[in-house]
Structure 1
Amino acid sequence: MKKILIILGFIGAILAVIFSVTPLYNIALMPLIVAFVCGIALVFMTKTAASKPKAIQYIFLLVIIALSITIYKAVFNTSEIGDIEQLEQRDEQNLEDSKELLEDIEIDENF
């Protein structure tokens, strides 16, 4: 059981770090939660049986790194909203350009 929790904790923590550095940082919360829960379960398991806590420390280190990157991106990443009028004008101009191109094309109806 302990080895399964260690493996799940490492997988969750590594996935969380990978997702947190990509534009998919919102998805990083699910592996973070899995890794954190596995780490907490491992802490309680090691209190009952004497074992080395190195794996638990690495899991929590990766969780802290991923959580800090995710929080940083959530706070400082701003999405820019463009000017709607400018976008509508561009759409109208593209539509007019398309109509002009279609009018200029000569279609030979005799095959």
Structure 2
Amino acid sequence: MSPQMELVAITLDCPDPLALAAFYQQATGLEPHPKSDADFAGLNRADGLFIGFQRVDGYRAPCWPGQTVPQQLHICFKVGEDLDGAEARLLELGAGKPDHQPHEASRARVLTDPVGHPFCIVRD
């Protein structure tokens, strides 16, 4: 029998953990971790999943879809049926939208967070 693993945390490198945590908190509604600070911030989901943001001096944003600076991580979020509305809201919060969109536009979109990490939003 193979070992079972449960994902409990994902941590993203960034230049400003509190700012990036604020973006994802507004985007997802997750609760801020009470011990967040300028070097490491986090968000908690009710089921125990933790998303962390750690300060990296000299941070370089991923170059997507190119690999000059590899993306290293890609997160996907279900957003329900209103993909256009979710995209508009995320762009207002500070997300970016790369020109390259590898998916059918009615099914999924690739966006970038304020420090360049690519992520997908997908219809339910």
Which TM-score bucket, shorter chain as reference? under 0.3
> More strand per residue: 1 or 2?
2
Which has the greater radius of gyration?
Answer: 1
The structure showing larger relative contact order (alpha-carbon pairs under 8 Å, at least 6 residues apart) is 1
> More helix per residue: 1 or 2?
1
TM-score, length-scaled by structure 2? 0.20
